[in-house]
Structure 1
């Protein structure tokens, strides 16, 4: 049990205590319990519909789920017969009147096989099953904005709330898609039993030139002059403020909280109201919330005379009540009218004026049915108490029951306090263990950087486990021994035909001894500040061969500890899920560097570096991933790959210090340049270097050569970058290029990444079709990204790849690559790009068959030839 759970339990106990002591009216903020679609309390026979698409999409399947299942169940109507679709509905019978404050909707995704949901819908409701009313909000709008995808649950507050037994959800559609719905209603039982009230329509006051309207604007059965057979603001759970010129509801007009009448309009001196109930009840009292701002001519009623009816005739002997006149306080208040335990199914009350105006904001009743339900015992969810301030305790339960309840509450509070103490003690103990394990990790850092003979595997990261290990590698180990087929990712749901057949994929890509399954979740491009190399002990792994191990055997795995006080913060480059990336100056860094490392700058001046930090509150898995990233980067030795220079791991926060080039990232660098025209080719190289705003085609190809060289080195080690782009390349003096991985953590490039269902984050405009749809990352998918990066370079990064397409259209375009029917869209040829480079190099990077794409070694040689 976590501390947040304790808070929830404490809050529930507080609600019970509130019901026992404050005896508050139905509170819309508390009355938000699920009424049984999700939990199954609402039976199948109580869920009906106008039609159904098939037996598997009948009304009983319209229960909202929080995706514990596969999301296959939903109600789907038959083809909409009307343009607005308002003849189709899903109906829920709650068996009794309920106060409904919230509704939730969800679509049908069928674990990727479906994509049906209601973008908009309307609600109708009824208290008796025959008279139906269309819900509208406080500003008169009837259409509710629904779902934007088939997965997420969308909750909508109902303002005003609904008092009903029957509720209908009515999808609004333009026939552009099939509609399916899963729903839930939230609220509590309506214990008043009030079915309707009939009152004169409210009047308009002009106060100091200000129009103040006291009409019942949410009354659900409006008619001329007199409002009959409906409910409205007198039962919406919102009490008026002391000053009637202001409203509880933001943006509403003066007087909105109240229904009010002028004495001048009633010659008899009273306002008559009729209240009708669901059945005969034994009434004890009535609560009326009145305004008493007498300085503006408003006072609470002088007298209330109530008549009762159990059959067809009103009884002759009424109950009369005269409240105490208050000439001191102008606060609004509830006035309790005793009803003398009279039995009736309808009550007619006449409220007599005591001033120019009389304003009511709420009316509620205590009756025999409510007496038994408002005993001070805790209620099951969905049935909170419905009593009002100032209730007479003699009408509730006897003192012995009260004493028993108080004793139970004291015992519950004592148990909760004990649980809180235990949880706090456990948290302290866990922190002590974490600190101990952290010290052990620090002590073993050097050993962790050494060559390990364990097996590695490339697989999907988990998107669903909380606090679990998440793979977000930028450099990740793969194995060329076979094509590593992965289960289709969530994006394959855009292509329903894929689930029917895998014939388009060609020969089987599974490997002997390796299960082709695994997670069906999309590869996790989380923030780039944590780069992990997944380790596995299951049967679906390959050991690194002796040849591959030799690639690391000769390297020095130890990294020197750099003094933190010699780092001077310059600016924040970006941040990710578990840490941040800072641009710093490192004083005396030259003393910590290996002999083979050449860096920009001199020995006297501070060196510009990038510092990745791990947050102190990061979990153990994130900490392990950070150490794995250090181990990986410490072995990457190439002039076109950013080098790890030193580490700070003697205390928190853990830091790794890497190279940073003086001209920043390649994307921003190119954006500030313009291409040198052919007429300027006779300029000397010195003039070209001085004209920093211009760059030649040959220089651009030289940058691409360096990127290809760095990727050739990574591919020789069987590493996949997975996020190759100009934003992840740094520029130094004389157009020196080094490949890095900072782009994803920078807010500047947030638009380059597409978030799937609020979880996975993918640079889809740079990704191959098989990476997007199949979750398959290989050196061939890096080749695809290199083709996009080359396109960026030759267009000087003036626009985003596929800028004419939305993210969804980019994904649809990958589907055309999958279908292979010649309808796929390619990036256009840049203006300065020769046809041979575009046709022989770029387009070859984007071939559908990954095996037909060139290697980085071939592309490096090809680019070198084009420079000659």
Structure 2
């Protein structure tokens, strides 16, 4: 049966609801939440009605105040907020009634109840089972409290609690982000208990908010709490909890059919693209990811007769926990029932997320066993099935083991051959062939090895053995290097950073650091830029934005910052107001190299003075911890900003969502190009240009930043090697991935991807239909240049002239890519 549909992608990457960053105020203080969406059980008077319960507002009599005093053990009074849609809520703020000194009422304690449908209310409990939240100690200070675990709700009630009779008043704010998965409940068997070295290990879903008897029904819990379990399940992200806490697990002894059934209910009929399941794989303890999953879909009242089947490759080599991406082949459904088959004695999940689109109209769907293949300028339907798309496809385990054995043997044979060649001292001729880009036969043979994991292993061995060649400096090899950065030159004479410098891609604080060729750095070394020392006591912590190996990034308010700035820089606020800033802070345990890198970063940042580049404002380096203070824009990063908006048009009118016009999208993209034009004029290479690294201010002002990598929200955008998120491969050029070359030309490639993100409103990750390994494989197609490479499709809003700019940014030959000056000029002309 065929159906016509139009979709608006609202899914996100697998950590879309990250606890560390999903902390945006939802509109009590900002006014986005309307008065009619705020209600209460009662009120003192009209001037203390629910609509006055907004954090940091002094309207009316200064707060919401219930009619009666709050009595011990009484939960009759509440302030209720309707968010109009499901939200992922991670933090709450409360405040009492000050009213310019005439009020002194506040809630010392409170509880929270929430609901997803307005009928079933759930009492929030922390991870230790406590319901009471510590409130305020005076009438004017704001008290922020993390919700651990976070909640997924549309309706939230604040219920003041007291151990004695007292008058209370409250002002509140909710922090979080929209719940894009659309999942309202999952039903699953209750988690079980393992005996490990004589000690019980519990894998129950301890924060599940539905009914739990022999099974879990009509609720959400640890599988949607944004917390991925560690590789070793006996450890936990959360303190004061038991081993195994982060996982929900089952043993096959309890399931004679060999599978665990989990049913997922969604808020509406959706068009499903993928399901990502985070699984433990400690096979030494007889724990493995699922062997096969079979999913049934329900769009109306009945379940579809034909299920979808997917079988991942069973991994007996790497014990790391991992996300397994299941292609759902654009099935339309409001409910899904999946059978996860055991691959060993135990199966353990910590997160399950979905990428889907909202179904608004009906249209013909592509025939079964067809998948969408991206071509250079359009999306086409191809009858070539892949294992992830064919519902009848299953992997023969015995054949897989034979294939793995053969591939391992091939690896050892290749290593032996290479050693013999080196021993006979003829390897120099091989290197000369490798330097020739036209010599792609060896890589083609490597590419023919399947699965992609073994392609990557062979590539890794190959590049490690031939690492003396500057043009074959691999980022795969680079992440294990520890030498000081050195500049090398490719055949085209463009300076780029060699393997050791790729290590610093993540930076001291977890953010990207600009790559500066050694020649440029030498020119800077003789110049000193005065950066004022800022008093630490004038910094007020707001929230932690992210962290890296040796440092952290904090959002702070700085008082009196205007007095420390150059004459050529001014803030768009009055002198007596605090300024929102980002503070990069070096940890006390940082080693000497990290300290030197941090000071080097200050030196680089001090040189950057452009309207579209985040500015270094001041430093705190007279004492530890070392800090650098940079601008921060009030609207956050461009990725999150666009994700909260929609294109102008009929769809936006239906959903009542905030909109951004096409002209404003182009205006923002033009500013990014302008900022990159400035960086390239200094011979600086950004190396991590993406919407997550662009901040948004008033009137769509854009400034390029560098700490997106430090934020857990975007950990899914980085390819993990040895447990570290280091390579943004979906934004990287083929030569950056395969050859380790980071140049202005590779930044141009990343700009093309950033422009694509902007015009798609960041509704999906680039190459979302490809796994990380397939993205790497696609770069091999660019290297071979046999016209089989996959390009990102033309966005709906994108005119041909702008898509041509993107395609030019993705040219194989770096010399054929446009400069940022050319891009900036072309974008200006497209708006004329």
- Relative to the length of structure 2, the TM-score reads 0.43
- Relative to the length of structure 1, the TM-score reads 0.41
**With CA pairs under 8 Å and 6+ residues apart, which has the higher RCO, 1 or 2?**
2
**Rg comparison, structure with higher value:** 1
